[in-house]
Every structure is written in C-alpha cells, then in structure tokens.
Amino acid sequence: MITTGANMPVVTAEGLEKAREKLLKKGGRPTKYRDSLAAEICQRLEDGETLTSISKLSHMPSLPTIWDWRGHLPEFANAFSSARKRGASALVDASLDILDNTTPSDMPTVRLAEAKSKQRLEIAKVVDRESFGPSVKLEGQVTFESMADRIRRLTGTSVVIPEQFQHLIED
C-alpha cells in the first residue's frame, strides 16, 4: 500500500492487482511495477527530485514506463500527482535554503544562488499554480449583446436579419 502523505489517496492491493492484470493483458513484456518502487518514486518527487533524475537510477524504470504507469494505474497517477504538489513545496524550501546559505562576500556565488533559487520558484509555480502561482482577481460586469444590437448601438441604425439566418441568433 502506498502511503506517503496525509492527503494522498490510499492505494489498495486489490486495485493495484486489477491494474497489473490490465497491463499484462496488453501483451509485451511484463510490467516492472511494484508498490515499493511506486512509493519510492513518489517519495523522491516529494523530496524535490526531478522525474528525469529518478528514472536514471539503475533500479528505476525509464521515463516512458513511468508515464505509462500513470496512464494505466489510476492509484499511481493520484499518488504521483499528490507527490508532485508536495514536491513543489520542497522546491520552495530548497530555494530559501540556497539563499540563506549564501554569504554576500562572493558576488558570483550570490548571483548563482539567486538564479538557482528563482528557477526552483518558477518550477514550483508551474507544478502547483494554485499554491505558488500568481493570484488573479476578476471584477466587473460582463454584458453580452448580439451583433445586430451592437451595430444598432454603434451606428444608430437597425439591422434586419434575413429569415434564413434567424436560427443562428436564437437561443
């Protein structure tokens, strides 16, 4: 069972077994999917590691395999998405650590630290826009008008719509 976070969906052995059977029926080589491997992938994502670096580890599956698991195993897809969101928080923390551990006496190091920090914050914004992206508040009133009404308002003249086109402007 994958349990690497408070709000993470619980993955049941029965659900995983059904998903495995589905993958095996597709033909080809048997899947390398294991609960422990999935949990490790999710934990590493939560720690802020990139999926590319995780997939390069000798005991890990390739990127296409991980994406295939996401597409065919809903439990893994949910756990993966949750881990990615929590990983965005790890990136923000890493960004602060980078800046906090830089001394102002060495300007090239300060600039490099700033660049690393900004990059991590940008990635966090992309991964979890709701938590780290810019917030937008829309205010105002939206008014819809037909083209005929707009022409009448702008020119002061009426527009007669031929009967054969009336169906286009009706609800």
Per-residue pLDDT of the chain (171 residues; tens, 9 = 90+): 444 455 555 566 676 666 666 655 555 566 678 889 999 999 999 998 989 999 999 999 999 999 999 998 999 999 999 998 898 888 888 888 888 887 777 788 888 888 888 888 888 888 888 877 777 777 888 777 777 778 888 888 877 777 887 777 665
pTM of the entire structure?
0.54
Report the amino acid identity of residue 66. I
**pLDDT at residue 7, rounded to an integer:** 55
Query: What is the Cα–Cα distance from 16 to 37, expressed in whole angstroms?
Result: 13
Inter-residue long-range contacts of 128-135, CB under 8 Å, 24+ positions, other chains counted: 128/84, 128/85, 128/88, 128/89, 131/85, 131/88, 131/89, 132/88, 132/92
Using CA atoms, how far apart are residues 136 and 142, in angstroms rounded to an integer? 17
pLDDT at 11: 61
Site of tokens 């923390």: 93
Cβ–Cβ < 8 Å for 44, 54? yes
Rounded Cα gap, residues 111 and 13, in angstroms: 49
Q: Are 52 and 66 in contact (CB under 8 A)?
A: no
Give the SS3 label for residue 154.
Answer: helix
Q: Are 90 and 132 in contact (CB under 8 A)?
A: no
pLDDT value of residue 3: 47
The top-level CATH class assigned to 13-132 is mainly alpha
